[in-house]
């Protein structure tokens, strides 16, 4: 099962305690279903969810098939959808708890989340721009910075940051999914840190090797054109040590001299050798 389906499975099991929140969630569901509601509910889990929510507002029995056309029409009136299903009455989602339920209902019908192991993307696909605007406003109340874009005639409310997706899951009260996503984010962050560190160390090693190769080339050129014996004693010593320990970084190279010198001293002598070598190039 995909992460998106896992999230929905968890959300299907959440039933608001307050009647006004139940109505708000039904509003989110029916808003996304659109006008042809009876034919739209093809998902069994969603059908059971709608049935359960409706039973919280009115007694329609225990038979899911009791969801007749009359029940749907009465429900549309109850959730105060306007005629073209472009938005719900703002009074229904005035309270933060009702906004949570409204967002949850909309997501169950028209939402999806990508596999967080591959990338972060949350979206709810709306039929009309007014629906997207209403959803974005509801999410913004919880400091979830949702945006929407028009894509092939639909209006897609989306999030692309892991932290924001965690927050919207928290808003919808998907506690288990929040924990799962947080764990994935931690693992990815640790891996990213390790990769950056390895890349940095690899780059540093590459720089050290390149510098050592260049220094050895300088020394060999001086040996060929001038002869190392004709160099001042300090330069002879550092040249001999560099040739003997080609892989040793500057910070450690000076320890092979007698007396030992620090990194700055080694660097100073090697720069002098480089300057001499440049005169013969």
Q: Looking at residues 177-192, what average pLDDT do you find? A: 89
Domain 3-173 is found in CATH 3.10.28.10: yes
Confidence class for position 81, pLDDT limits 50, 70, 90: low
- Give the helix/strand (H/E) hosting 183: helix 175-225
Pure H helices in 34-160:
37-40, 44-57, 69-78, 96-110, 129-140
Residue 13 pLDDT more than 80?
A: yes
Q: How confident is the model at residue 202 (pLDDT cuts 50, 70, 90)?
A: confident
Report pLDDT for 210: 83
The average pLDDT across 40-65 equals: 70
| pLDDT at residue 39 greater than cutoff 50 | no
pLDDT band per the 50, 70, 90 thresholds, residue 115: very high
Instruction: Provide the pLDDT for residue 195.
Output: 85
Of residues 70 and 134, the one with the higher pLDDT is: 134
For residue 242, give both structure tokens: 């560099």
Q: Look up residue 92 and give its two tokens.
A: 């229904």
pLDDT single digits (tens) 227-254: 888 889 988 899 898 888 888 888 888 8
Q: How confident is the model at residue 22 (pLDDT cuts 50, 70, 90)?
A: very high
Q: Which residues of 152-189 are buried (b: 16+ CB within 10 A; e: fewer)?
A: eebbbbbbeebebbbbbbbbbbbeebbebbbebbeeee
Question: C-alpha 115: how far from its chain's center?
Answer: 10
Q: Please determine, for residue 143, whether its predicted confidence score (pLDDT) is greater than 90.
A: yes
- Predicted pLDDT of residue 51: 81
Q: What is the mean pLDDT of residues 144-150?
A: 96
pLDDT of residue 35: 62
Whole-model pTM: value is 0.69
Q: What is the pLDDT confidence band of residue 192, given thresholds at 50, 70 and 90? A: confident
The listed range with the strongest mean pLDDT (82-91, 111-120, 190-199) is 111-120
User: Given the DSSP bridges, would you call strands 147-151 and 154-159 parallel, antiparallel or unpaired?
Assistant: antiparallel
Q: Which residues, at least 6 apart from 1, have a Cβ–Cβ distance to it below 8 Å?
A: 9
Query: CATH 3.10.28.10 occupies which residues in the chain?
Result: 3-173
What H or E segment, with its residue span, contains residue 113? strand 111-113
Neighbour tally for 7: CB within 10 Å: 25
Q: Which residue has the tokens 């949570």?
A: 100
**Of residues 28, 281, 52, 32, the one with CA closest to residue 171:** 28
């Amino acid at each position: 099962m995909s992460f998106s389906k896992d999230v929905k499975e968890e959300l299907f099991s959440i039933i608001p305690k307050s009647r006004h929140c139940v109505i708000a969630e039904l509003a989110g569901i029916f808003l996304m279903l659109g006008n042809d509601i009876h034919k739209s509910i093809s998902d069994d889990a969603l059908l059971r969810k709608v049935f359960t929510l409706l039973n919280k507002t009115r007694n329609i029995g225990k038979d899911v098939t009791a969801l007749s056309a009359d029940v749907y029409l009465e429900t549309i009136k109850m959730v105060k959808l306007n005629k073209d299903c472009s938005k719900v009455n703002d009074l229904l989602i005035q309270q933060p708890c009702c906004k949570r339920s409204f967002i949850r209902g909309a997501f169950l019908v028209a939402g999806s989340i990508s596999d967080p192991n591959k990338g972060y993307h949350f979206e709810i696909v709306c039929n009309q721009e007014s629906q997207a605007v209403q959803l974005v406003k509801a999410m913004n109340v919880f400091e979830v910075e949702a945006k929407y874009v028009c894509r092939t005639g639909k209006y897609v409310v989306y999030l692309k940051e892991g932290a924001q997706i965690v927050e919207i899951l928290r808003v919808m009260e998907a506690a288990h999914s929040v924990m799962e996503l947080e764990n994935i984010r931690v693992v990815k962050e640790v891996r990213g840190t390790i990769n950056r560190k390895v890349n940095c160390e690899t780059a540093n090693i590459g720089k050290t090797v390149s510098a050592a190769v260049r220094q050895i080339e300088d020394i060999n050129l001086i040996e060929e054109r001038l002869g190392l014996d004709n160099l001042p004693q300090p330069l002879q010593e550092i040249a001999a040590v560099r040739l003997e320990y080609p892989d040793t970084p500057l910070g450690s190279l000076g320890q092979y001299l007698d007396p030992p010198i620090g990194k700055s001293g080694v660097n100073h002598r090697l720069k002098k050798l480089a300057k001499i070598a440049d005169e013969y190039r």
